[in-house]
Amino acid sequence: MPFSKKNIEKTLVILSIFILSACGGSSTEKQELPPIAQAGINIQTDELLEVSLSGIGRSADGANLTYVWEQTAGVSVELISATTLEPTFFAPDILTDQVLAFRLIVTDSRGLSASDSVDVSVRALFNVMASTPADMTSDVNRINPLILIFNDPINASSVEGAITLATESGFDWQIEKVNVNGQTLEVYPMQKLFGDTQYLLTIDEVVKSQEGVSLDAPYLVGFTTTLGQWQDPVYFWEDGGRSRTAISDNGDIVSVYWSYNQSNRQYEIQMVERRSGEWSTPRKISTTPHVYYPDVTMSNQGDAIITWEYWGDENQTFVLEYVDDEWKSPWTFIGDRNSDTTSVNDDGYAVIASIENSSYGDDRIKVVERIEEQWQETEIYVLKGVESLKLAANDNGKAILVWTQERSTGQEYKIFASTRSKGIWNEPTQINGEVYQIGSIDAAIDGEGNAVVVWSRSNEQNAISTWQAIRNEFVDGQWIGEVAIDEISEESVRPRAEMSERGHASIVWEKGISGALNPIAITNKINGNWSLPIIVGEGQYSDVAIAGNGERVIIWDIRGDTERRIGLARCTGDICNSNSTFAVSENKSNVMLQDIAINYSGDVSFVWDGVKNGQWYQFQSVME
């Protein structure tokens, strides 16, 4: 049969049906594809921070998906919203760097699944969690240790030399010790901090944890200390006078009094002390009659020396020592002694200056020194007509001794000075020009051995209106020469000088010699230059004490119409706050004999005598 076009098409249709039948027939099903899972890029973070994972899940053919995150490595953490694409967790508290691994599993509604992993690198941190005082704190206690709490135990060996404490002005404060106890760091300053002063405590980044993790950056704590306050005065004894006091850097106080015993009508030397904040019962320390002019000095650490004079057949000086936490038995040496001529330092060096009157009419200037626990005597000079003697010494064993000599004419005076350095007293040097009259000599010395000597002079015999206050300075081993303290006023008298270990210096004096209400002036040496005088009050018999930061406390006597008063001023730089009625006595006729002592940190011990309810008392007050 011939193939027509129509037959050919029919044949092809039949053949196609046959082929499809042989293959099992026709189908409309599609191939099932698994989901896609992406856990995201690796993450770096610090411990304790919140971390967010960010995953991706997709279905190629639109199937419904579920998500599950699981941790596969590292320190275990709690995943929050672990069945979402973006769960969170907090990086763990760790000692060393750690890597945490997480896996995202994406499952579709047909049970097909896919997974992907991500790493989270957690950096261990070492930092301060808390400090006492806290940063920017005011009115901080000046004696408590500074405490820091770290997040991990501290490597004690990394702390050495890595901690500094300084005032806002940049003065470094010595640190006595640092204690490390686990995560706690305790810093003990060498001395009680200055009052009303801003400090900055710095922990260097070299400090490490026990696992070797360092601080990221220096840690800083700034704070301000409390302002010293005066305590209410107390009184210890009736009758007497010439109170003297001393205070150590740790706040120990020793005060001595020249007291009159009404029952036996003799003078006695009494003392009272404060140790660890507690006052002792006052007690008599003299053992003989005819005792006069007590004096006391203390080292920074609280050792003390008390001296007084005995006037008998042979004048003697009594010495009572406080060493190794106990008072020793008094001992004596021959010689008259003037006030302010005793000193002791932390190395145990002590010196007492005296004048010994010989039978030949010569006056011998002597010092009795304690060196390596042994007392020895040195003769400085032999001359006639010694009228006053002043000693000043520093913590390093350097000292200056000054005195006046009256010529046989009774009119012309010389002032001599001998300095001590490297354990030797140098040959005396005359430090003034000769004048008719000299009065109120005083001396002070700083930690480097630089010194200032002040006095008042008159170039006219029996003159009243020509007295003028003078100073001479010993700087870098040389005397500068005489300079008038107050060139404006010719009536400037009774100068007193004081220097701190750091070189701050002050001089106070009275601008006028007549009357009871003379202006009380002060000049300060700041950055090597003396400031212009400023007036802090009116009165007479002024004195000054100066702390390590240059804070000054000035006292003076004021005679009123019906009473006697003590004026007081606290000065920082040239800014002074004065109180003209700090203490009051009911007796206007008698001078309120007073003494003031200040330690490096600015704590003050102040003693005076006065009349209360018709009775004389010895008063004591403390500022700290």
- Whether residues 532 and 554 share a domain: the answer is yes
Q: Which two tokens mark 272?
A: 């009272």
Per-residue three-class SS string for 154-215: ECHHHCCCCEEEEECCCCEECEEEEEEECCEEEEEECCCCCCCCEEEEEECCCCEECCCCEC
Instruction: Please report the pLDDT score of residue 60 as a whole number.
Output: 81
* 406-412, long-range: CB < 8 A, 24+ apart: 407/434, 408/384, 411/436, 411/437, 411/461, 412/436
204 and 279 share one domain: no
Q: Please identify, among 92, 107, 123, the residue that sits at the C-terminal boundary of a domain.
A: 123
Q: Within 13 Å, how many C-alpha atoms sit on residue 284's CB side?
A: 12
Per-10-residue mean pLDDT of the chain, 624 residues long, equals 45 41 49 91 95 94 92 96 96 94 95 95 94 95 94 95 93 94 96 93 96 94 94 78 88 89 82 92 90 90 92 83 93 68 87 76 82 88 78 92 77 85 91 83 94 87 71 95 82 91 93 80 90 91 92 90 88 87 81 87 92 83 93
Q: Check which CATH number belongs to the domain holding 162 and give it.
A: 2.60.40.1220
What SS3 class is residue 528? Answer: coil
Cβ-based neighbour number of residue 372 at 10 Å = 8
Residue 77 and residue 120: Cα distance in Å, rounded?
A: 12
Q: Are residues 431 and 540 in the same domain?
A: yes
- How far out from the chain centre does Cα 321 lie? 28
How many separate domains does the chain show? 4
d(CA 246, CA 596): 8
Cβ(351)–Cβ(342) below 8 Å? yes
**Residue-range definition of the domain harbouring residue 71:** 36-123
Give the separation between CA 352 and CA 368, rounded to whole angstroms. Answer: 5
- Examine the domain organization and report whether 373 and 240 are in the same domain: yes
In a shared domain, residues 241 and 331: yes
Q: Distance (Å, rounded) from C-alpha 542 to C-alpha 552? A: 13
**Helices and strands counted in the chain (H then E):** 1, 53
Relative to beta strand 564-572, strand 552-559 is antiparallel
Residues 442, 516, single domain; the answer is yes
pLDDT the model gives residue 18: 41
Q: Model pTM? A: 0.82
Residue 526's DSSP bridge partners are 529
Which token pair is 72? 């596969």
